[in-house]
Amino acid sequence: MFLLYVLLISACKIVEAKVFVNISGDIILGALFPIHKKGLGTEKCGKIQMEDGIQPLEAMIYTVSEINRNPNILPGINLGVLAFDSCDNPHYALEQALHFIKGFIAHVNEYHKVEFQCLDGSVPKFLGGDFDKVVAVLAAQSSSVTLQVASILRLFSVPQISYMATSPSLSSKERFSHFFRTVPSDVNQAHAMLEILKQFEWTYVSIVYSDTEYGKHGYETLVSLANKYSVCFSAPQRIDKDRFLPEDYDNVIRTITNKTEVRVVVLFAEKVATLHVMEAARRLGVGRRFVWIGSDAWSSSNHSNNILDPSLRKTEEVVLEGALAVQPLSRQMPGFDNYFTGLNSSHEAVNPWFREFWTEYHRPNINACKTKTLDIEDGCFNEAIHKITRESGYKQQKYIHFVRDAVYSVAHALHDMFIDRCGKAYKGICKGMQHIDGESLIEYIANVSFKDVAGNKFRFMNSVDGPPRYSILNYQQDSNGLYRWLVVGNYTQNESGSPVLQLDQQLIKYRSQEISGRHFFPNSTCDSPCHISQVKVREKQDPCCWRCRYCGLYQYKLDDYRCEDCEWGKRPTDDKISCSSIPEEFIDYTSPWAVAAMAVATCGILLTIFVLCIFWLYSKTPIIKASGRELSSLLLLGTLISFLMTFAIIAKPNTQTCAITRFGIGLCYTLCYSALVTKTNRIHRIFNKVTNSPHKPRYTSPGSQLIITGILTLVEVIINGAWLLKAPPAATYIFPTRDTRLRICQGFNDRSYIIGLIYPFILIVICTVYAVKTRKCPEGFNETRHIAFTNYTTLILWMAFVPLYLASTSNAIRVVTLALSLSLSAFAQLACLFFPKVYIVLIKPQKNTKELVMAYHRSSSYVPTSATSTTPVVILNGNPLDCGGK
């Protein structure tokens, strides 16, 4: 009878839909596990899975019981479990998820809006009401199943936590706002695989990926990140595991083999497709040529059992030796081994698939009990279970700790909600916990924090993904001749939170080839590496192959394949990987041009001070008094400023020196010619008075003259001030050539810089007019010739230097031109207006008398003859004077 039961169980390939794990509790966690394989053809479910389904289910049951025994988590509240079989089939899993949906609908109907009622007016329950208590669903293992379930659970705001789905598309909060997972996204796995390629300097690699959500996203992620790691994927091959025949797999291998330099192949595909690729490589005799790098979907099922299935042993041992694989971090779940190996036939009341699991894979041991009676059969079955556990090499699945993390994330989120709604002192279900909405629970799950099995802090990254946690495995032969996967490194976060690859090179082996006690991997590059200052130029025949070339004279290396022009004013560094600024050039105080200009200015300053001292010492002599001491002092001040401007013009350009230069150029001319205009205007008004009134003309006193000069100068100050406000002074750079960077004041290289000279030019013209009008005044007052000569000299200097300034492309010439033009204009003023008076004061003191100063102009031929003359006459010190004749 027991044997008949075994045969019936083994013959059943489609599990009844209502077969599920039902552990009652105050709060229920739903779950979907791939207890059975996906069925063939029209069948929804196939054979029961050896470990991929039962162990995760039992890990959840074990973790829930562990939490229920812990008084520090949800005190007085028991968690329950409702778990269904997904059969690793997206469509079938969706059907099973509908059971949860019906419970959620009943829950909403009871606590939100009543839309359904029984005939007696009561609120309907689904399957006894346990489904109403489900607050979250653990689902699922594969990405394809998880995507289907996530889409429908999102519609009902149900939190979903996956323990193994790694597809990057699940990280989208816009599409899956209620989804979480305790494993990292495949984006992190792609980074880990590329870090391995980078560490072994494999730059020319092929890739094989499956035509599924998992494979396509993995391939796209690898390709998008490849440039960052200087890796190129040549001849990518996509496989359709549902349609490919053996010859199609052979064609995939042939295409890769044609790339003679490719020695490394990345496999981003499920285990079934991967094994077909391996078998094709063995058939064509090229399996040992390649280093295979596998993803977690390929490697996870075989890592839990180091002994391969006999049907796959020959293929994998020959082809896989030396392969590397990236798998979610392997951790042993404490206490689970004792729990799992201690289960007996009574556990079938909890797990309806438990007897089927042991019966299917350990039939010979069970058959040993077939002669026993029924009473003895259960005991024989339990004895067989323990014997099998001891002798069959049972291994704990390496990833079931992710199941534990999923359960604990919900439990801790519920506990945080319990503290907020019930308080720390409360035990059991309070009123606030009787109704739990998914939207509220999601906020707690997103911020949950606890210790994982290794004692590390667990938090969801970006409120979705588990932290990067991967083991790096190497398939190698041990000393007993057995082939096993050995953990040789990991890819995890360091103390700063950045993921880092760590490999133990002493543990890694590549097949049986050994040199000096070490196993060496083959190179997989298309060409030798380029020099650090060279870029790669891809060949047309194969985009992954290249030739090396240097960047241009003024280019730097942007990345491995591109050169970029340096900005003007910069040139490439010696290694060509960046640009550095060209040393700036400017006229400073050490330049020979600057020294010459400063020498001229210094002589002018000394002469100006000398003249100023003479005027001060002889200020009461007639010739000094007649020249107007106050205005002459202002004129000397303007002359002194003209010489001092040389030092500001030659100084290193900056905001201060540029402001002084722009403001001072026009100011020094304005100050000089404002004084001259005022002076000549005063003389003109005095000696050309149209009335015979004894009163002298207005505004001829020294104070008035100073005010007039100040007003005329103020106009220039306003012009320059407005100009500085509109265009603030600043130092800038010009680049006459690619190797020249000149530091100049902004505007120094265009016509706008001489805007401050427009107003002084107007004053020069006015001054010239008044000089002509006062040409017949007494010799001591008449400076027509000197002023006119000064003006002419200034205009000639401007005509000579301004075109030279505007036409010159040399910064040195511009600076020296501007400085010398100011100095020479100042020298002209000294020579024409002050040196003759200094000469008379010092060399010809006999001419420094009132009579000679008041004498008629030597060129005047007019002598007044009558009082009725219409010619203006001015009586000055008793002498009739006329300077208005023709």
The 10s digit of each residue's pLDDT in 681-705 is: 877 777 765 445 566 677 677 788 8
Measured between alpha carbons, how far is 32 from 37 in angstroms, rounded to an integer? Answer: 13
Burial of 393 (0-12, 13-18, 19+ CB in 10 A): exposed
Residue 581 · residue 567 · CB < 8 Å:
no
The pTM (predicted TM-score) of the whole model is 0.57
Measured between alpha carbons, how far is 771 from 763 in angstroms, rounded to an integer? Answer: 12
Tell me the pLDDT tens digit for each residue of 710-733.
898 898 888 888 888 888 888 888
DSSP result, 605-665 = HHHHHHHHHHHHHTTTSHHHHHT-HHHHHHHHHHHHHHHHHHHHHHSPP-HHHHHHHHHHH
Give every CB contact of residue 225 below 8 A, 6+ residues apart in sequence: 190, 191, 194
Q: Which residues of 558-580 are buried (b: 16+ CB within 10 A; e: fewer)?
A: eeeeebeebeebbbbeeebeebe
Same structural domain, 175 and 72:
yes
The residues that bridge with 501 in the sheet, in sequence order, are 491
Same structural domain, 497 and 615:
no
Same structural domain, 649 and 785:
yes
Q: Which DSSP category does 861 fall into?
A: -
The average pLDDT across 579-603 equals 86
How many folded domains does the chain comprise? 4
Other C-beta atoms closer than 10 Å to the C-beta of 407 total 26
Tell me the pLDDT tens digit for each residue of 188-214.
989 999 999 999 989 889 999 998 878
Confirm whether 3 is domain-assigned: no
Confirm whether 819 is domain-assigned: no
Same structural domain, 576 and 648:
no
Phi and psi dihedrals of 2, rounded to 5? -65, -40
- Quote the mean pLDDT of the chain: 79
Measured between alpha carbons, how far is 96 from 15 in angstroms, rounded to an integer? Answer: 11
Same structural domain, 710 and 677:
yes
Measured between alpha carbons, how far is 318 from 616 in angstroms, rounded to an integer? Answer: 111
Predicted confidence band of residue 420 (pLDDT cuts 50, 70, 90): very high
Confirm whether 4 is domain-assigned: no
- The distance from CA 527 to its chain's CA centroid, rounded to whole angstroms, is 32
Among 84, 31, 54, 37, CA closest to 343: 54
Confirm whether 372 is domain-assigned: no
The average pLDDT across 374-383 equals 52
The CATH number of the domain where 145 resides is what?
A: 3.40.50.2300
The average pLDDT across 388-414 equals 82
541 to 378, 625, 685, 822: CA distances (angstroms): 69, 97, 95, 69
The answer, yes or no, to whether residue 14 has pLDDT greater than 60, is no
Residue 577 · residue 556 · CB < 8 Å:
yes
DSSP result, 96-155 = HHHHHHHHHHHHHHHHT------TTSPPP-SGGGGGGGEEEEE--SSHHHHHHHHHHHHH
Same structural domain, 755 and 609:
yes
Query: In the prediction, which pLDDT does 125 show?
Result: 65
Among 23, 34, 167, 7, CA closest to 96: 34
Confirm whether 146 is domain-assigned: yes
Which of residues 730, 765, 792 is at a domain's end?
792
Domain region containing 76 = 17-183+334-351+399-458
Query: In the prediction, which pLDDT does 139 show?
Result: 86
- 531-545, 583-597, 846-860: least confidently modelled range: 846-860
Same structural domain, 655 and 737:
yes
Same structural domain, 640 and 776:
yes
Which of residues 581, 613, 636 is at a domain's end?
581
The average pLDDT across 87-97 equals 90
The average pLDDT across 833-858 equals 76
User: What single letter denotes the amino acid at residue 103?
Assistant: G
- 517-526, 577-586, 661-670, 754-763: least confidently modelled range: 517-526
Same structural domain, 722 and 573:
no
Residue 750 · residue 734 · CB < 8 Å:
no
463 to 218, 329, 413, 455, 858: CA distances (angstroms): 21, 20, 13, 21, 104
| DSSP-based three-state secondary structure for 233 | strand
Same structural domain, 735 and 779:
yes
Among 756, 611, 764, CA closest to 673: 764
Measured between alpha carbons, how far is 700 from 144 in angstroms, rounded to an integer? Answer: 103
Percent of the chain scored above 70 by pLDDT? 80
Same structural domain, 46 and 115:
yes
More confident residue, 513 or 422: 422
Confirm whether 487 is domain-assigned: yes
Which of residues 745, 770, 792 is at a domain's end?
792
Confirm whether 881 is domain-assigned: no
Predicted confidence band of residue 383 (pLDDT cuts 50, 70, 90): low
- The distance from CA 804 to its chain's CA centroid, rounded to whole angstroms, is 49
User: What single letter denotes the amino acid at residue 497?
Assistant: G
The answer, yes or no, to whether residue 860 has pLDDT greater than 60, is no
CA atoms within 13 A on the CB side of 663: 17
- 128-137, 382-391, 517-526: least confidently modelled range: 382-391
656 to 259, 342, 664, 716, 741: CA distances (angstroms): 67, 88, 12, 19, 21
Tell me the pLDDT tens digit for each residue of 98-111.
888 888 777 766 66
The answer, yes or no, to whether residue 80 has pLDDT greater than 90, is yes
The residues that bridge with 745 in the sheet, in sequence order, are 731
Among 186, 181, 185, 205, CA closest to 295: 186
Measured between alpha carbons, how far is 756 from 498 in angstroms, rounded to an integer? Answer: 61
Helix ranges (DSSP H) in 374-463: 374-391, 400-422, 438-446
Confirm whether 77 is domain-assigned: yes
313 to 320, 426, 485: CA distances (angstroms): 10, 58, 13
Q: Put residue 257 in one of left, alpha, beta given phi > 0 → left and psi -120 to 50 → alpha.
A: alpha
Tell me the pLDDT tens digit for each residue of 775-819.
666 655 556 667 777 777 877 877 777 777 667 667 777 788 888
* Rg of the chain in Å (alpha carbons): 50
Same structural domain, 782 and 660:
yes
